Structure 1
Amino acid sequence: MQMDEALPTFIAESRELLHDMESALLGVLELDERQEAINAIFRAAHTIKGSAGLFGLDAIVGFTHVMESVLDRVREGELALDEPLVQLLLSCADHLAGCIRALAAGQAEPDEAARARPLQQRLQAYLGAEAGATPVAVPEAGAQAAQATTAGDWRIALGFGPDVLRNGMDPLSFVRYLQRLGELRELRLDRSRVPALEQLDPEACYLDLSLVLHTDADRASIEGTFEFVREDCRIEIVPPADGPQAGPSQPEPAEGIERIEAAAPTDTARPAEARKAEGPLIRVDADKLDQLIDLVGELVTASASATLAARATHHTVLQECNAALAGLIDEVRDCALQLRMVRIGSTFARFRRVVHDVSREIGKNIVLELHGEDTELDKTVVEKIADPLTHLVRNAMDHGIEPAALRLSRGKPETGTVTLDAYHDSGQVVIEVSDDGGGLDSQRILAKAVERGLVEAGRNLGEAEIFALIFEPGFSTAEQVSNLSGRGVGMDVVKRNIDALRGSVSLASTPGRGTTVRIRLPLTLALIDGFQVGVGRSVFVVPLESVVECIEYREEGGSGPAWAELRGKVLPFIRLRTLFEVGGMPPARQNIVVVRHAGQQFGLLVDTLYGEFQTVIKPLSPLFSQVRGISGSSIRGSGDVALILDVASLAEQAESGQGAAART
């Protein structure tokens, strides 16, 4: 594998390491026992340094070396890990993330010296007597150490344990990395531990090496090479002053020991500083997954066509074979969908840093609580929801959470709380952003809206309608413009982005207790189980998870009230024939499909019930993006098009219709 082919893997792994480092730094000060977290932070920096060295990214290597030196002193108890040092290390992680982003954008190694120098100087200040030293940069492979006055020959003996290969380590990669520290003058292989062929375990390692490294590096740098194999390896390191200088005149190796010519680093080197043994994981291009989902969707449609054809033949054996095939297709469908589903926890975790930084910027004590991190969404939805969530979290911190003194005067804890939660409801994913702040003043919002000309003076609006004004472009109740808010942009962007995902956003608030913004996202990029209904010659699909029950309904003339009685309670319903202007007369006996959304029940009046079908959701063309009540389309087994109903939008219409009926 050429190094340019391996670079994307380095970029992906570095991003994961930096994410782990940031998470550990954000939580380490809250731990009673910090050693494990400190070790994790050190390993992340050390792994990035080692892998970057293999790609010749000397600026990254030099920077992480200084960072690693500080972390090593923290690990040894020589430095206390306090808030200022955590902030500095977070800034260093940000700098490394910027370097990785530049590499991912196709740049050669970015020249970040101007940005790195102040951070390196602050790191050097923690190194005490070494504060005036120049940050160490790893020399080029094979560089002659003679130019350094303190260079010498280090003798190193390595006895790799039997589990090294099973744990995903490449013993030769350690040797290749050592060549980044200096000149490898001698390398010998000891074959004495290799058993007879019939006793040899092909997964076990029997490798013993002895080598001479001419370098000006210190013992810590050499030992650091073997950080992740230390428990599975016998290591002996003899400094230059404690042993004879190795050179060409060394005696011939003893029996069983083979001298190997020192090889230059090769492009086939794989980073040995792996964080953990490799699991059964592979990285797959997202475009390939999209193509797979499309093909599975077509397969489901073709299976529905085959089912209809098999039923028409009345051939028992053919129907049985088709049923078995349909069952396998169901399993393939479920597996394919899971490939694109990711937990929202990784997106939620980003906001620990947002809350950490913003709370210090605005001078408020705020903590973040996360719930529902295991809730899964389609990968593309997760990616597109990150920006709206950022706006909402920052807005909750700036507008929602009160200053500490005010909170104390109201009998609240000094520290405010922002909560992120996610869960499934009626075939949708619900994401909530809540705060325990002062809540919203509906009358103040209405006054601002009137002042800005968004609402006519004297107009009577309900609380939900007033809160919805917050999402209008240019609306803001902030008295001052700050770095976070006050310019009237942000909440309208949130609504626009969520609308683009065919989702909905609503807001609820209690004065003095806090505010909750609730986002509902339909599963527009998935195959779902649907309940098909007919109105005239048109077919509609209701997400099966929203369906509660079906009841028979009769009305005279088709113009009666849009509500029915269900077990002593009023059930509002929507006539799909009227809503979508479907031609023809309704039959004498119709059906009401009772659906539930966000705890609200309402009905859909239809002509025919076709039953459950697997449904492939296809997004609507942008030409129909403004159509209310429809979230997508699907191809039936017969080849006809069925429209998928947007239950959230229909629920709003049912609620408004019920309110109008109540007022009359």
Structure 2
Amino acid sequence: MSKHFPGDDDDIIAAAREGFLEEAQDNLRQFEQGLLAMEQDPGDAEAVNSAFRAAHTIKGGAGLFGFQAVVGFTHEVESVLDRMRDGLLAVTEPGMALLLQGRDQMERLVHAVRDGTEGDAELEAISQRLGEQLRQLRGESAGPAAPASATAAPEDIPASNGEGDGVWHLSLRLGVDALRNGLDPMSFIRYLDTLGEVEGIRTLAEAVPELLLLDPEGCCLGFEIRLRSPADRQTIVDVFEFLQDDCELEVLAPDASAADYQRLLAQRAADEPAREALLAHWQALGMARLLEAPEPADSAPPTTADSPEPAATSVAPRPAAAPPRAEERRGGARDRRAGGEESRFIRVRADKLDHLIDLIGELVIASSGAQVAAQQERSTRFGEAAQRIHDLVQEARDGALGLRMVPIGETFSRFQRVVRDVSKELGKDVALQITGGDTELDKSMVETIADPLMHLVRNSLDHGLETAEDREAAGKPGQGTLALHAYHESGNVIIEVSDDGRGLNRDRILAKAVERELVSPDSVLDDEQVYRLIFEPGFSTAAQVTNLSGRGVGMDVVKRNVESLRGQIKVASTPGRGATMQIRLPLTLAIIDGFLTQVAGVSYVLPLESVAECIETPPGFMLGEHGACGCFDLRGEVVPYIDLRRSFGHDGPRPTRQSLIVVHSTDSRIGLLVDRLLGEYQTVIKPLGSIFQHLEGIAGSTILGSGEVALILDVPSLERLQIRQPRHLATSPIHTSRTAHPSA
């Protein structure tokens, strides 16, 4: 027999608790989305049911773990939604605003559970204040609010069917897989105390087999429970909704007759010994008088459509055609159980996934080393085996990276609340459109890009979109549109934030740049160069500082964060018609397809998706006498170039033939002059040590199959360093200041 360690149960409970907290965040998002959908369409029954299910799931999960502050407050929110769902309370703007405040308080309470600060006095005061407002909203007398940590007050629990505050009888039989499915029956029973008082309980262990036949993961228990509660039948049944697939529950109302108990006795007891055992449990619960003068089971009058609801209710097995209301209440839990879509998914710790990606990266390096060794040995069989390993490693790489890919739609959906709150604060009518939410991106990048997107969204709301009056005066619809769009393009993810507002004011931006000496007054700049000025540190055209903008802090940080992900950001604007901010990001940051080059014997890698073409130095190409950059003619287009040999200070003679790699830069194309082209190469990105992180133009390093280290180029940073001086727009634009050109 295995030895039981005292810490085992604590570890299991801690893991289950962490699972609840993670699931609570998902349910909070579902709750918020449901509320926002209700506000847009008050008649959307599915939105109301979705929000109700999310709140009820949070409340039920919190009750299982004894998080009473969460249970008590969520009950207040749930009660308002219940009345809205029944059509007893209208969906109004003040009501939705209060429910959204309630959602925020629920999140704070969940965070308090995670942080261990559940008893915070300020948090309890907020719960009391909001709880009182929620009771007033649903038409109940305001009175002093119960503490948030207390269970739901009896007067808040609905009573119906004339049952009143009586003693209910619950007969519960657990399924054999209840424990195996991770359910703790005692948690559900303890939760009954939130509905009233458990006056008596008997545990039925007659079905437990001998020790040698006992399945440690199987459940063979039953319970007979006496519950005094003013709650209605449905509220009591809902306590066990998470158990409904793993239990048989019979509920007898306080006014149940002796015949009802006799029918239950006949149902539960298959033979005379079982009957006597169950009767003994009932007598121990003080139920002897309920069994006096029993009526024959077959003498009960038939139930008709006009007959009152029966005193005894069975919830398992469920009828094939349950009422829609019951299905709505139970659907959320059932879908999450066995057979539902989510049963195909498992949660994996992020650090374990990162470790797997690291191992795949080492496999990529080892595979490259095997190919190099095969080439050196000039062995055909060795080369074929190395190539096969290479192909398998590449498949494993793609599969492992795919595990970290998540839809960006979850990030997009967070902005629904932001758009709602900010637009109301600014007095604007704004509709949010989301497309391409299923576009996948590396999880680490999704987390990093959320803040830049938040700033762009708030910036569009504050600066871009006009008030309804201004829009109508300009011949536009009164409601503005803010759009979030994502899609894949050439191995990159494109994210666009656009609006149909007033657009960027070119003259105002240029005047501000001249005022701040970012450009000279006689500069000749095209629109794209002017719009790039908004990313300069401290740049702002706002007339006054508000809590949203005006301090010149943000757009430069947006650009810096995007470029830290090896991304690029572009601006497009049409005066009077709106603006679009386009962010281009690589699919992943861990392992990329690279293009390997060499300069003075040193290897450099470029991200393959940024490479447009490779050409020999064109006829008449001449290096500038000074500096590491110049221009060349690419089929009639003047393109700037960077001489990597001079840029990185490599000495030694140049080869007689060099090549130009044309790459996509931030807003144009740029050439990189290298000595040799070595072709495509799977690149495992290794971060530089802290001592080298200040280096401009270098994004990281990788290890080649030969064991040598290659540096990964950061083209935007290199362009800023070599072509654009600190006051790069204080002179003429690049294409008019070429160093060498065939026609010169």
Under TM normalisation by the shorter chain, which class is it? Answer: 0.7 to 0.9
Which residue does 1:146 correspond to in 2?
none
The secondary structure found in structure 1 opposite 2:653 is: coil
Partner of 1:153: 167
User: Deviation string for 1:60-79 (max 9, x for gaps)?
Assistant: 11111122222212222222
Change (3 A) 1:34 1:552: same
| SS across alignment from 2:414 | helix
Deviation at 1:123, TM superposition (A): 1.1
Q: In structure 2, which of residues 652, 668, 672 is the aligned counterpart of residue 584 of structure 1?
A: 652
Which residue matches 2:201?
186
Q: Could you tell me which amino acid in structure 2 is paired with residue 302 of structure 1?
A: A
Residue 558 of structure 2 is matched in structure 1 by 494
Amino acid across the alignment from 1:310 = A
Matched, 1:416 2:480: yes
1:545 partnered with 2:603: no
> Aligned in 2, Cα 1:76/1:318: closer, same or farther, shift over 3 Å?
same
- 1:643 deviates by 1.8
Shift of 1:484: 1.4
User: In 1, distance between residues paired with 2:659 and 2:232?
Assistant: 82
SS of equivalent residue, structure 2 residue 437: coil
SS across alignment from 1:29: helix
Please give the secondary structure, in 2, of the residue aligned with 1:279.
helix
Aligned equivalent of 2:599: 535
Alpha-carbon distance between aligned partners in 2 of 1:547 and 1:367, rounded to the nearest angstrom: 38
**Counterpart-to-counterpart distance in 1, 2:148 and 2:692:** 59
Kept after mapping to 1: 8 A contact 2:69/2:109: no
Contact 2:37 2:44 in 1 (8 A): no
The corresponding residue for 1:334 is 398
Q: Which amino acid is 1:7 matched to?
A: R
**CA 1:523–1:546 in 2, change beyond 3 Å: closer, same or farther?**
same
> How far did 1:38 drift?
1.1
Partner of 1:276: 336
Partner of 2:138: 127
Among 680, 693, 700, which residue is 1:612 paired with? 680
- Aligned equivalents of 1:587 and 1:121: distance in 2? 81
In structure 2, the CA distance between the partners of 1:137 and 1:503, relative to structure 1 (3 Å rule), is closer
Alignment of 1:57 with 2:67, yes or no, is yes
Relative to structure 1, is the Cα distance of residues 126 and 239 closer, same or farther in structure 2, using a 3 angstrom cutoff? farther
Determine whether 1:285 maps to 2:354.
no
Q: CA separation of 1:4/1:306 partners in 2, compared to 1, >3 Å: closer, same or farther?
A: same
Pairing partner for 2:30 from 14, 20, 36: 20
What is residue 221 of structure 1 aligned with on the other side?
Answer: 235
SS of corresponding position for 1:481 = coil
Q: Secondary structure at the match of 2:453?
A: helix
Q: Which amino acid in the other structure matches residue 422 of structure 1?
A: A
TM-score by length of 2: 0.75
Secondary structure of 2:605's match?
Answer: strand
The answer (yes or no) to whether the contact 1:427–1:545 under 8 Å persists in 2 is yes
Deviation, 1:436, is 1.1
Hey, what's the Cα distance between the residues in 1 that align with 2:529 and 2:199? Answer: 74
User: 1:251, CA displacement in angstroms?
Assistant: 9.7
- The counterpart of 2:383, out of the listed 286, 303, 319, is 319
Mapping of 1:218-617 within 5 angstroms? 218-227=232-241, 236-243=250-257, 254=269, 255=271, 256=274, 276-277=336-337, 278-452=342-516, 454-455=518-519, 457-522=521-586, 525-553=589-617, 559=623, 562-566=631-635, 573-596=641-664, 602-617=670-685
Structure whose alpha-carbon radius of gyration is higher: 2
CA contact (8 A) 2:423 2:430 kept: yes
Paired with 1:506 and 1:613, the residues of 2 have a C-alpha distance of 28
CA distance in 1, matches of 2:580, 2:543: 22
Distance 2:702 2:590 in 1: 11
Structure 2 CA distance for partners of 1:419 and 1:204, relative to 1, 3 Å:
farther
Going from structure 1 to structure 2, the CA distance change for 1:191 and 1:131 (only over 3 Å counts) comes to: farther
- The verdict on how the C-alpha distance between 1:598 and 1:375 changes in structure 2, with shifts beyond 3 A counting, is farther
Change (3 A) 1:657 1:474: closer
1:47 pairs, out of 35, 46, 57, with 57
Gaps of 5+ in 2: 1-8, 153-163, 210-216, 283-331, 625-629, 725-732
Q: What's the CA shift for 1:548?
A: 4.1
Which SS does the other structure have where 2:569 is aligned?
A: strand
Shift of 1:411: 1.2
CA distance in 1 between partners of 2:234 and 2:657 (Å): 85
Alpha carbons of structure 1 residues 477 and 557: separation in structure 2 relative to 1, 3 Å: closer
2:226 equivalent in structure 1 = 212
Alignment map for 1:28-43 (pairs within 5 Å): 28-31=38-41, 34-43=44-53
Change (3 A) 1:569 1:358: closer
Q: Distance in 1 between matches of 2:44 and 2:176?
A: 32
1:191-230 per-residue CA deviation (whole Å, 9 max, x = no partner) reads 99x9xxxxxxxx9999986543344544343132134566
Contact 2:59 2:74 in 1 (8 A): yes
Structure-2 residue corresponding to 1:76? 86
Q: Structure 1 pair 163/39, CA: closer, same or farther in 2 (3 Å)? A: farther
Q: CA deviation at 1:553?
A: 4.2
Query: In the aligned structure 1, how far is the partner of 2:676 from the partner of 2:644?
Result: 12
What SS does structure 2 have at the residue aligned with 1:242?
coil
Judge which range, 214-223 or 627-636, deviates more: 214-223
Q: Which residue of 1 aligns with 2:710?
A: 642
Change in CA separation of 1:55 and 1:32 when aligned onto 2, cut-off 3 Å: closer
- Residues 39, 93 of structure 1: alpha-carbon distance in 2 compared, 3 angstrom cutoff: same
Deviations 1:330-375 (A, max 9, x none): 2222222223222221111111000000111110001111223223
The question of 1:89 aligning with 2:99 is answered: yes
User: Structure 1 counterpart of 2:343, which letter?
Assistant: G
Name the aligned partner's letter for residue 15 of structure 1. Answer: Q
Q: What's the CA shift for 1:309?
A: 1.3
- From the superposition, tell whether residues 424 and 602 of structure 1 become closer, same or farther in structure 2 (CA, over 3 Å): farther
1:407–1:414 contact (8 Å) kept in structure 2? yes
User: Do 1:524 and 1:632's aligned partners in 2 also have CA atoms closer than 8 Å?
Assistant: no
User: Within 1, Cα distance between the matches of 2:571 and 2:692?
Assistant: 27
Q: 1:424 to 1:598 in 2, by over 3 A?
A: farther
SS at match of 1:445: helix
- Whether the aligned pair in 2 keeps the contact of 1:438 and 1:511 (CA below 8 Å) is yes
CA deviation vs aligned residue, 1:245-286 (integer Å, no higher than 9, x gap): 999xx9998434665989xxxxxxxxx968612524333332
Distance (whole Å) between structure 1 residues aligned to residue 617 and residue 561 of structure 2: 40
Change (3 A) 1:611 1:479: closer
Distance 1:174 1:424, change over 3 A: same
Is the alpha carbon distance of 1:583 and 1:220 closer, same or farther for their aligned partners in structure 2, counting shifts above 3 Å? same
**Alpha-carbon distance, 1:400 to partner:** 0.7
Summarize the Cα distance change of 1:659–1:290 in structure 2 as closer, same or farther, 3 Å threshold. Answer: farther
Shift of 1:637: 0.8
User: 1:310-338: per-residue Cα shift (whole Å, max 9, x none)?
Assistant: 22223333333333322322222222222
Q: CA deviation at 1:94?
A: 0.3
Q: CA deviation at 1:302?
A: 1.8
Tell me if the contact between 1:167 and 1:276 (Cα under 8 Å) persists in the aligned partners.
no
Q: CA deviation at 1:616?
A: 0.6
Per-residue CA deviation, residues 486-507 of structure 1 (Å, 9 max, x unaligned), is: 2333323323433444544333
